[in-house]
Structure 1
Amino acid sequence: MSESRLIELETRQVYQEDLLDDLNKIVAAQQMQIDELSEACKILIDRFNELAEGGLSDGGVASDSPPPHY
């Protein structure tokens, strides 16, 4: 194997390692976003289920109550 071919292969390997490191960082960041979004969805689903089962839990008017008349 010629020296120029060896240098070319080593150079490609270095670029591929850098690319792999960059992709790993991106995947890790995306996983963090997925985890945060999953938690937010869980909170929203729980809140929706609370509202669907019995109205507002913070003392507001239940969704099936008639509107106030002025």
Structure 2
Amino acid sequence: MNQQLELLETKVAFQDITIEELNQMVTNLQADVSKLKEQLTLLSQKLQATQSPNIANLSEEIPPPHY
């Protein structure tokens, strides 16, 4: 009986360590995802800012002379 109890206590101790390691991994991954979201937002804003002035609407386009 004592041996079974010790075995269960050992398993629980290892499970606690594993859960803590997994929790740390999830926390690190969440931080990485947050950073990537910020970078994607900034990149998207920069892309929109550089494209807007250079592109005319289709209604403003003049047909080429060969039409």
Report the TM range for the smaller structure's normalisation. 0.7 to 0.9
Higher relative contact order, structure no. (Cα contacts within 8 Å, ≥ 6 residues apart): 1
Number of aligned positions between the proteins: 54
User: Over aligned residue pairs, what C-alpha RMSD do you find?
Assistant: 0.8
Stretches of structure 2 lacking an aligned partner (at least 5 in a row): 55-67
Structure 1, unpaired ranges of 5+: 56-70
Matching residue of 2:29: 30
Q: TM-score, structure 2 length as denominator?
A: 0.78
Distance apart, 1:17 and its partner CA: 0.3
Does the alignment pair 1:21 with 2:20?
A: yes
Larger radius of gyration: 2
Structure with the larger helix share: 2
Alignment partners' CA distance in 1, 2:53 and 2:43: 16
Q: Give me the TM-score of the superposition, normalised by structure 1.
A: 0.75
